[in-house]
Structures are given as C-alpha cells and as structure tokens.
Amino acid sequence: MARHLITSALPYINGIKHLGNMVGSMLPADVYSRYLRQRGHDVLYICATDEHGTPAELAAKEQGIPVDEFCAQAHDQQKAIYDGFQLAFDYFGRSSSPQNRDITQEIARELKANGFIEERAIRQVYSNADGRFLPDRYIIGTCPHCGYDKARGDQCENCTRVLDPTDLIEPRSAISGSSDLEIRETKHLFLLQSALAGEVEAWVDERADSWPVLASSIARKWLTEGLHDRAITRDLDWGVPVPADTWPDLAAEGKVFYVWFDAPIEYIGATKEWADKDPENRDWRSWWWESEADVRYTQFMGKDNVPFHSVMFPATLLGTRAPWKKVDVIKAFNWLNYYGGKFSTSQQRGVFTHDALEILPADYWRYFMMANAPESDDASFTWEHFTATVNKDLADTLGNFVNRVLSFSRKRFGDDVPAGGEPGEAEAKLGQEIARLLAEYEEQMEAIQFRKAAAALRALWSAGNSYLEEKAPWLEIKTNPEGAALTLRTAMNLIHLYAVVSEPFIPASAKAMRSAFTLPDDTAVWVSPEEAHALTAVPAGTPFAVPPVLFAKITDDDLAAYKERFGGAAE
C-alpha cells in the first residue's frame, strides 16, 4: 500500500478560527486521515501554525509583548481548540521553528544556485504616517479586476486574483488608514516564476485532471494569465531571515522571507520537527525526498489558498532541482458563509471554534460540517439547518437507535446480548443492504467526496432503523421471544458496525458506542462489506451497558439563544 502524506492549510497564528476555516482545511484532512488509518495505510498528517508576517507583529504590539511570546501563546491556544475537535495530527508544528528556518534557507540557496532567484531594486510603498514600508497585506484598496473595495495588496479575497500593491485603486494603509503613501526604492529577492512557467504548466497538466474541478480550474486560470516573477522578501522584523552567507547586504538590512514563501515549506519543516522530537529518530526525509513513487500526497485547503499551493509552491520545489515530494491531489473547498454573509469577529457574527466547543460537543460540529461541506459551491451556515441536521441525523437516526435497542434489550433480557433465533429473510436482506451501503461509503471516502460519504453513512444508520421498524421487537417479544432476541442481537451488531465505520466523522460517539460492549478481543479497525453482511461481531452472551444519551436534541429555546448570541440573518 502507498504511504499517505496529508497536510492541511496552515491556520494563521493571529486569532481563533471560525467554522469556515475548520471545514475547508483541518477537519476534512482529519476525517480522511482517520479513514486511511482504519483501512491499514501508513499515514502522516502534518499541520502547523503559520506564524510569520505583519499581522503577528501588530497583534503582539497591541498586547505589549514580544512577537515570539505572542506566537507561542497563540499556538498553544489554537492547539487546545484543535484537540477539542479531536483533530488527530501526527504533528502540529510551528512555522517559526528552527527546522523551518533551516529548510527555507536551504531551498532559497538551491533556487539561487539554479538561477531562479535574483536580487532586484524595486520601488515599494512607504507609509509616512506609519514610518515604515508596508508589506503587501497591509495595503488595502479597490481591486482593479472585480471592484472589491477591501482587496489586499497581495490578493483579492473576492475574486482570488493575485495582486501587487501598485495594482490597487485608491490604496491606503491597513494599519493607520492613511492614504499618505509614497514610493521609495529598496532591494528584494525575486522568485523567477516566469522562467519556470513551462515546467509548472507541464506539472499541473500531469496531475490536475485528478483534482476537484475547483482546484484545477483555479490553477489553470492562473497559468493562463501568465506567471510573473514575484518578490519573496519583506521589510519586517519577524520571519525567516535571508541567509547572510548568500545575501549579506540584504541580511544586514534585516530582510526576511515572504510568509507565503516559507509557510508551505513548513509542511516539510514540521515533518522534521516531528522526527526530531521522536526518540526513535524517524527518517523524515523518506516522506519528502525521492518519495514520488511510494508516497501519495494530498493537500486540503480553501479556494483562496489554491494559487499558492498549485503554482507558487510547486514552482519553488521544481526550481531547486532536488527530489522534493510534490502534491498529488489538492482537495479544495469553497466558502462556508454565515447566513449568506461572511463570518465577522468585529460584528459578532458567526460561530468561532472555541465558542462552538463551549456550547456543544465536537461530534455535533464535525458531522454537520462534513455532511454539508462546501465542495461544489459556497455553503451557508444557519442555526435552523444545523438544528435540523443534529436533531434528525444524529439524535433521531443514530442516537435514538442506539438507546432504544440497548435499553429495551436490557429491560427484557438483562445485561448480556440475548441468545436465540436463527437469521432469516429479514436479516439476509439487511446484510445485503448494509454491505451495499458500506461499499458506497468506502467508494466516496476513497474519492474524497465528503458530502456523498456522509450521505452513505447516514443511509447506513437509517437501514438499522428500517430493520427495527420492520421486525418491531417490542411486539415480537409477546409471541416470539427468540425472534425478538435475534432482532436485538442483530441491531447490537449494527451498533458495533456503526461505531467502527463512523469513527472518522464522530470519533467520541463512536468510542462510546463501541465501549458499550465488553469485547476484550475486539481488535477490528474496519469492517469490510463482506464482514458486514454477516453481522456477527458481537455474539450472544456479550455483556453490555447502556451509554449516556449520545446526542441531545437542540430545543427551540436553544435555537433562539444561539441566534441571539451569535447573530442570525444579516440585516
């Protein structure tokens, strides 16, 4: 089996992330990683906080603490939230690590040696009000392509076009709001993307047909518009420094690499962090160096990150002429909006990850987000939709099935799985349906189609309810106790199967379902369609317990309180 390298777009260090950030990167990467591990694959899921750039400097300044201290605190805060969502990273690193610094500088030296980095004198925006050169992200203006009036100097969030600050109409400082800007000369390093354009296009052509349309269309659009040489250094105090042994003058001026140059390299850096912290001294290079044939690399990200990962980062690696592993599949997501508008911290609109965990357990959010993942179009979070999904799918379809099967069996047959009865036509029909749906679930997970996979999982849960309604053990027990025992034992085997195959989506609930049965020899990591057909993993006589309610329904009062706290439809 191929080894699977999984990365998700690095969450920026500045601020707690909202649900849209979670559903477009880290959560689907976790669901996919969990599934692959269950299927017996060797998986490495790497992520990290993206810690360089002006926003981190400014946030630290506002708090009156050194930027490295701010980043350390923010990293721990974010990691605690991701632990709360049960994101099973193999390693969650930091782009400010020494490992990332060293590898970034190594890659820059290789690019220079191969003629793909050159030093150029440029004219750059200087803010008189702020007394500093302004990095691209801190110049705001109107996008010349789509007219969006809050476009940044590096990229328009609205149309995703990559920009230069001088492209903006009516530019102003994002720090002070001042329009008192002037152009001054300074020197920077440029990545010569134009010289690599043919290689990048050929590389994309080899792979993009296997990517989702969203990712491949963005990559090809960028290539069609032409690759331009891009400045990869900035005038900042915080970042990976330009190596003095290669560019002494720029190093003396305190130049650092552009955050979008070093951040993707942190996927490699974090892998080395992971290896360096392990007492067995894992071979991190086996995942990234000369691993094209035996490692399958999948990246997860929102659509705004696609240009950098599909063109700029591959260009960087191609230009080194070294055998770095490059991505095989880019799984891109559209936006998750809030009642049709954007999440906003300042306007107190939308659900942010720490608040989500405060009000409901992680599995409620994990299932909802993946069952409604914005894969083909932008999606909109509403409390009404969230409530309906939780109450119908989780509370009624799955949770109620588990509770009524176990409660009724304990009441009528005691604390062990009941014996009696031989499987008949209903059980054979159920086994065939479960095997068919499980095969559909596997197919959609292999294709990285999360909404379709969630639909197949939901159908698996529904099949158990249909069987229970057909057999009606609460009536059956009056005239055929052995038949009722068979029905309940079959349903208990469904609960065990649900626990195993639902784990990627709802790991805590899956653990609760599985631990309801005392099965010391239960080592199943997956259930194949052939095994599912038999439904015999939980034999008669197995002790069991009734777990607490898996999913509490969201009431009308809860719904009203959530809308009042987080904001409802935009005015």
- Can you give the CATH number for the domain in which 4 is found? 3.40.50.620
pLDDT tens by residue, 84-135: 999 999 999 999 999 999 999 999 999 999 999 999 998 888 899 988 778 7
Joined tokens for residue 540: 């008669």
pLDDT band, very low/low/confident/very high, at 347 (cuts 50, 70, 90)? low
**Which of 346 and 96 is assigned the larger pLDDT?**
96
pLDDT for 571 equals 43
Q: Give whole-number Cα distances, 111 to 234, 260, 298, 546, in Å.
A: 18, 16, 25, 61
**What whole-number percentage of the chain has pLDDT above 90?**
84
Residue 410, SS3? helix
Say whether both 485 and 386 belong to one domain.
yes
pLDDT band, very low/low/confident/very high, at 46 (cuts 50, 70, 90)? very high
Q: Which residues are annotated as a binding site for Zn(2+)?
A: 143, 146, 156, 159
Query: Nearest CA to 6 among 35, 49, 46, 48?
Result: 46
pLDDT of 370 strictly over 50: yes
Rounded distance, CA 127 to CA 304, Å? Answer: 27
Say whether both 240 and 379 belong to one domain.
no
Q: What is the average pLDDT across 162-175?
A: 89
Q: Tell me the one-letter amino acid at 64.
A: G
**Which of 186 and 247 is assigned the larger pLDDT?**
247
pLDDT for 345 equals 62
Rounded distance, CA 348 to CA 136, Å? Answer: 27
Domain that holds residue 229: 1-116+192-333
Question: Is 284 a domain residue?
Answer: yes
Question: Is 7 a domain residue?
Answer: yes
Q: What is the average pLDDT across 460-483?
A: 97
The answer to whether 402 and 468 have CB atoms below 8 angstroms apart is no
Say whether both 284 and 383 belong to one domain.
no
pLDDT for 188 equals 95
Q: Going along 128-180, which residue ranges are E strands? A: 132-133, 139-142, 151-152, 169-173
Question: Is 549 a domain residue?
Answer: no
Say whether both 80 and 197 belong to one domain.
yes
> How close are the terminal C-alpha atoms of the chain, in Å?
53
List b or e across 291-316, with b for residues whose CB sees 16 or more CB atoms inside 10 angstroms: beeebbbbbbbbbbbbbbbbbbbbbb
pLDDT of 569 strictly over 90: no
The answer to whether 168 and 143 have CB atoms below 8 angstroms apart is yes
**Which of 292 and 294 is assigned the larger pLDDT?**
294
pLDDT of 198 strictly over 90: yes
Say whether both 415 and 479 belong to one domain.
yes
Q: Which residues are annotated as a binding site for ATP?
A: 345
pLDDT for 281 equals 67
Say whether both 329 and 379 belong to one domain.
no
CA 428 to chain centre: 39
Tally of domains in the chain: 2
pLDDT for 570 equals 47
Q: Does the model's pTM come out above 0.75?
A: yes
Domain CATH number, residue 502: 1.10.730.10
Q: What is the biggest distance separating any 2 CA atoms in the chain, rounded to whole angstroms? A: 92
Phi-psi region of 147 (alpha: psi -120 to 50; beta: other; left: phi over 0): left
Q: For the chain, what's the residue count? A: 571
Say whether both 274 and 417 belong to one domain.
no
Q: What is the average pLDDT across 38-62?
A: 93
Say whether both 201 and 311 belong to one domain.
yes
> Which of 301, 333, 365 finishes a domain?
333
Tell me 292's DSSP state: T
Q: In the chain, how many H helices and how many E strands?
A: 23, 16
Say whether both 382 and 528 belong to one domain.
yes
Give the position of tokens 């894992």: 282
Question: Is 17 a domain residue?
Answer: yes
Query: How many CB atoms are located within 10 Å of the residue 402 CB?
Result: 26
Say whether both 382 and 327 belong to one domain.
no
Query: Nearest CA to 261 among 316, 204, 185?
Result: 316
- Alpha-carbon Rg for the chain, nearest whole angstrom, is 27
Q: What is the average pLDDT across 245-249?
A: 97
pLDDT band, very low/low/confident/very high, at 53 (cuts 50, 70, 90)? confident
pLDDT of 343 strictly over 90: no
Question: Is 568 a domain residue?
Answer: no
